[in-house]
């Protein structure tokens, strides 16, 4: 039993050695970055806070002096087509999917509104036909009593129904 614990302790100690071989630097935005790889070439040496014990920096030594701007000016600029990698294509696909989903949602809402307006139009036309028939109609007042519609109430209800028809039946 003690041998298992000893082996486990030795394994844990050796595993933690890998964590000490980390790079640490401050990026352009001022955030600390931790990585097992060397920082990008555009990070100055003064921004590198920690590096692995053995210096195996894959970054080439940069020439100092006036040759540096000339080398930068003569370097070919990456074209837009070569800069688009797999991540950009995935991003564009996700963006297209999101736009398609948004368009489908908008179309669904428009169809729902159109269906509601069509239902309102049908009901308003039926109410208008009933109101214009001239038959006596009843409604319930605030006290819960049934009351026949008088001419003033019938005229105001007719105007309300006309406005519903004008707004919902317009195509």
Q: Is 24 helix (H, G, I), strand (E, B) or coil?
A: strand
Between vectors from CA 87 to CA 83 and to CA 93, what angle results, nearest 5°? 110
Average pLDDT, the chain: 79
> Is 33 within 8 Å of 24 (Cβ atoms)?
yes
Residue reference for tokens 């030795």: 10
Distance, in Å, from the CA atom of 49 to the CA atom of 54, rounded to the nearest integer, reads: 15
Above 90 in pLDDT, residue 12? no
Instruction: Sort 25 into a burial class: Cβ within 10 Å, 0-12 / 13-18 / 19+.
Output: buried
Average pLDDT over every residue of 8-37:
78
pLDDT one-digit tens code per residue, 91-145: 899 999 999 999 999 999 999 999 998 998 999 999 889 888 888 888 888 899 9
Above 50 in pLDDT, residue 56? no
Average pLDDT over every residue of 40-47:
87
How much of the chain is helix, strand and coil, in % rounded to 5?
A: 60, 10, 30
Kindly state the DSSP code that residue 140 receives in the 8-state scheme.
E
Above 50 in pLDDT, residue 13? yes
- pTM attached to this predicted model: 0.41
């Amino acid at each position: 039993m003690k041998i298992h614990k000893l082996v486990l302790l030795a394994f844990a100690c050796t595993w933690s050695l890998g964590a000490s071989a980390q790079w640490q630097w401050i990026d352009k935005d001022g955030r600390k970055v931790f990585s097992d790889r060397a920082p990008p070439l555009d990070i100055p040496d003064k921004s590198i806070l920690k590096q692995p014990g053995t210096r195996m920096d894959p970054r080439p030594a940069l020439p100092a002096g006036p040759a540096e701007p000339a080398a930068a000016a003569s370097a070919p600029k990456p074209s837009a087509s070569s800069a688009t990698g797999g991540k950009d294509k995935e991003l564009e696909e996700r963006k297209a999917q999101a736009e398609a989903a948004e368009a489908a949602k908008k179309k669904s809402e428009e169809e729902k509104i159109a269906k509601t307006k069509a239902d309102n139009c049908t009901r308003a036309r039926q109410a208008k036909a009933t109101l214009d028939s001239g038959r006596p109609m009843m409604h319930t007042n605030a006290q819960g009593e049934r009351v026949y519609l008088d001419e003033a109430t019938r005229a105001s209800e007719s105007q309300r129904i006309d406005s519903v028809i004008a707004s919902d039946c317009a195509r």
